[in-house]
Structure formats: C-alpha cells, structure tokens
Amino acid sequence: MSGAALLLAVGVSLGLAAEGRDGTVRATIDDAKAIGEVSPLIYGGFIEHLGRNVYGGVYDPEDPTADEDGFRKDVIAAMKELAVPCFRYPGGCFTDLWRWEEGVGPRAERPVRLDPAWRQKETNEFGLDEFMKWLGKVGADPILCLNLSTQGAAEAQRLWEYCNFPGGTTMSDRRRKNGREKPYGVRYWCLGNEIWGPWEIGHRPADRYGVDAREAAKAIKTFDAEAKTILSGSDGPDWNETALSIAWEYVDYLSIHQMFNRKRMLPFVRCADRLTRSIKRAAATCEKVRLAKKSEKRVPLAVDEYIFWDGDRRYRAGEDWTKGRHCLEQDYNLRDAVVMGDVMTVFHNHADVVKIACIAQSVNALAPVRTEKGGVLWRQTTFDPIRYASAYGRGTALRLKTEGNEADDVHASVVRRADGSLAVFLVNRGEKEHDFSLVAPGKWRVAESREIAGDPEAVNSPSAQPVRARPTDDVAVGKDGFSVSLKPCSWLFVLLARCDEGVVIHFED
Ligand code: AHR
C-alpha cells in the first residue's frame, strides 16, 4: 500500500474528514438486485457524412496512413482500441437528403451534390459499400439510418434488398456487381433522424411521423422479422407517446438524443444528471404505452446520439461547400473526461433500459479521436473513459447502495464480468476530495487501477496528451472491498479480481 493509501485507510477508519476533503462516501453492492446485463451496443460510434468525420477522418486516400481502400489505418486502430461494436451511419441531419443509391457503383459515375445540413460538398466517393468494408476492418456492425425525411418505405425496402438479399433481384445483384457477393446482414435500422426537430428537412408532427415510421418498419420487417427498428424519439414525452402508440407493433427501440451543451448546461460537470432524467422519462413513456397496449413486449432505449458540444459549428473560413470541411471540431478538457466517465456510469446504472448508445460522433467532429493530414492522430480527453468502459464494462451491472453522498458529487457503477472480477467506474464531480469506499464481500486484489485527475481545463493536442488514464497505486484493498481518495473533478477505474481467480486484462499500454 502506498503511503497516501495507508494514511487514507487510517483516516477513513477513524472517520476523519481531512482538510479540503468532503466526507466519506460509502457504497455497498446490493448483490441480490442486479440492474441488468450491460448491452455491448452501448459503446457504439457514429459516422455521419459531416465535416472531417468521413473525408479526412475515416477515408483519406492521400494520407500516408491510408490502406489500399483509402481508409486511415490509424483511425481503424483507434476505433479498435475503443472496441466499438457498432456504428450509426450516415447521419444525423445528413440523412434527410441521403440518396443511398448515389453512393454505390463505379465512383466516376456517382453524383456530386451539395449537402445543406453541413454546407458541404458530397462527392459520394465514400458510400454504403465503403462503409461496410470499413466496418469489416474495424470489426463492428452497422446501424443504418433510413431517410424518412424525403424518402419512405419504398426506398427502405430497396436498401434492405441491396444490403441483405442473397441475389437474383435487381437490387441484390447490383450489390454483387459492386463487389460484395455475400449479403451484409444489416440488422439495426433507425427510422429517420430527429424528425421532431424543426431544423430537419422533413420535420413533421408526431402523428404523421408515427405513421411513416410504422410503414417503413413494416416494410423492413416484411423482409426480415428479426430486423430491429429504432423509432426517433425526442426529449419531450408527448412526441414519444404519440409516435410510439402509432408504431408500437413494429418498433424495437425508442431513440433519444442527448446534447450536453458545454456553454449552457452549468455546472457542466454535472450535466449527466440530465441524461438520467431523460432516460427515466423516456423509459416511463415506453412503459405507459406498453400498458395501454396490454403488450408483453418491452421497448428499450437507444441513446443513439450523445453529444458534447458548445453549440458553435466551428466552420473554417473559406471552406463553405467544400468536401471534408472543418466543422464541429471541438477541443475537450479534463472536465469533459469526467463528464464522459459520468455518462458511462449512467448507462451502466440503467443497463435494464438503455440497450444502445452511440457517441456523436467518432472522428474529428465532436469526437474522441482527431486527425490531421500526414498521419497525425490524437486521442482527446474523452477517449479513455470510453475505452475503459468498453473494455471492462461488459457483464452484469450491479446495484449500489450509497451513503454519505449528500452533495451528489460521487457517481459510481460496478459491472460484474464473466470471469467474476468487478469493474468499478467512479467520478468525483465536486471541487473537493472525497474519501470513497466500496464494500464488496470477498477477498480481492487490484488487477488494474487508472485515474484521470488534475487541471480541469487541461486539453490534449497532437503534441501533448496530458489527460490520459494513468496508473495509480492509491487504491487500498481491505477485507471486503477497497478505499480510495477521489481527487476533485476526477475519474477513476478499478478492476477488482478475486484473489483465488484469474482475470482477463483486455489491454496493456
Ligand atoms: O451530431 C451532430 C448532429 O446533431 C446530428 O447530425 C444531428 O442528428 C444532431 O442534432
């Protein structure tokens, strides 16, 4: 045990609150009541044709890192490091005018268009087949977002047929001619994007959307009864209830989007609380509609966009209507890392209802990974909290009983993994240090412990990465669990292994 940990253990046992510290938070695992299985799909990504997410991010044939298909190998490696299981594609607002057929076939014949959503040029060099090929290299599955703004059920069926039918029809044979013999087996379909929002081309009231979504979902499910459809929901309950009531029979998930506004949601470090409220509200609506329908089916949630943004589009001068323009490229600081860690605890602690979540977005635009030309890639502050959650937070989310957390500074989640180890995720959102102890019956050793702490304003850049998850030896294992001091505005990860059992460590630095 380090000197600091020993002091802490003595301090905790004497019930002392050292100067600058704010009480001891004690969490006990309520083993009898697991929350639920953590769906791996909560660690999803999002590739929208937006700024340099695709062009200059995922795809950049001129870059020295490009592989034979023009995909940046360093981006592929970073996505694998995050173990992203699925990516939503191709938008977002971009989907409103997405004509998927323009992005397949010989590149020279693909139309060049203007995309009004992001005032950019879309050359269609990167389209559906390129996305699928890229997914194969990353090892992830697609969540395709249907254009239900300016298209409908007929186009959805054509897209399904292109993607999923073995052959012998015009659409499936077109895929084969384009180089992909085997069907892609796309399973997840978003029924449009944010159609509740007045900014969307195709925006309409919930009752009209409900009918259109139902018919598109029906069209897809006529072909594949196992297909999973995701209804576009809003943060307001009325829209959700109306649309869900109309489309219920054909819907498998209700989507909600969460924008964490870095300028308006103050104090920003606590903004994951709004996510908790939104999840509870949306889950309650699903339950209300289920009861009204007398349905056995449960409709869980897909938080298929969560966004850390300050509202500024950050367009670069002189790039209007160009391909791969700089857009939404936001620097994140250490506080954002704590918020990201908090978001992960919220997902774990609602593992019973949140079954899909996608960060918006994955590369460059509002993303944990940024690139520059010439093989430069860096990990933003938000990268490691996702990486550790994705690597270790798979298994059963356990319920915690917490005492001494009156200021609600400390948030924690615990996932019991298949090998019996416990992955513990912690954030201290307060301005003072907190002593924390976890009571987990058993004999444990610390297999891994990492911390992000320091100046809340610190950012990563291509030349310096001060905000990464660093090993810490401050975790003091006791008879039944561990104790640790949580620094102000910090994130901590602890992997507890049973003393008599092995533990699978997913990666080493
Ligand atoms: O993620 C950026 C944008 O935010 C998406 O295009 C849209 O769906 C959301 O409003």
Quick one: pLDDT at residue 18?
A: 37
Q: Could you confirm whether 329 is annotated as catalytic?
A: no
Could you report the per-residue pLDDT of 171-220, keeping only the tens digit for each? 999 999 999 999 999 999 999 999 999 999 999 999 999 999 999 999 99
My answer on whether omega of the bond before 258 falls inside 30° of 0, hence cis, is no
Those residues with Cβ within 8 angstroms of residue 292's Cβ, 6 or more apart along the chain or in another chain: 245
| pLDDT at res. 236 | 73
pLDDT higher than threshold 60 for residue 508: no
Q: Over 60: is that where the pLDDT of 262 sits?
A: yes
How many helices (H) does the chain have, and how many strands (E)? 10, 22
At 475 the pLDDT is 96
Burial class (CB in 10 A: 0-12, 13-18, 19+), 53: buried
Q: What confidence tier does 136 reach under pLDDT thresholds 50, 70, 90? A: very high
Closest residue (by CA) to atom 1 of ligand 1? 360
% of the chain exceeding 70 in pLDDT: 94
Residues ≥6 apart with Cβ < 8 Å to 79: 45, 138, 140, 362, 369
**Distance of CA 145 from the midpoint of ligand 1 (Å):** 12
Residue nearest to atom 8 of ligand 1 (CA): 92
Confidence grade of residue 479 (pLDDT, cut at 50, 70, 90): confident
Ligand 1 atom, smallest distance to 94 CA: 6
Task: Give the distance (Å) from ligand 1 centre to CA of residue 88.
Answer: 12
Query: Given CA atoms 14, 18, 22, 25 in this order, what sign does their dihedral have?
Result: negative
Specify the pTM: 0.94
Exposed, middle or buried by CB within 10 Å (0-12, 13-18, 19+), for 19? exposed
Is 60 exceeded by the pLDDT of residue 72? yes
Ligand 1 geometric centre to CA of 92 (Å): 5
SS3 501: coil
Mean pLDDT value of segment 265-286: 96
Question: What is residue 228's three-state secondary structure?
Answer: strand
Whether the predicted pLDDT of 393 surpasses 90: yes
Query: Does the active-site annotation cover 102?
Result: no
Q: What is the pLDDT of residue 5?
A: 40
- Report in angstroms the alpha-carbon separations of 222 from 199, 217, 315: 32, 8, 43
Q: How far is the CA of 93 from the centre of ligand 1 (A)?
A: 6
Any ligand 1 atom below 6 A from CB of 497 = no
Residue nearest to atom 5 of ligand 1 (CA): 92
pLDDT of residue 441: 87
pLDDT per residue as tens digits for the range 2-49? 433 433 333 333 333 334 456 799 999 987 789 999 999 999 999 999
Burial class (CB in 10 A: 0-12, 13-18, 19+), 11: middle
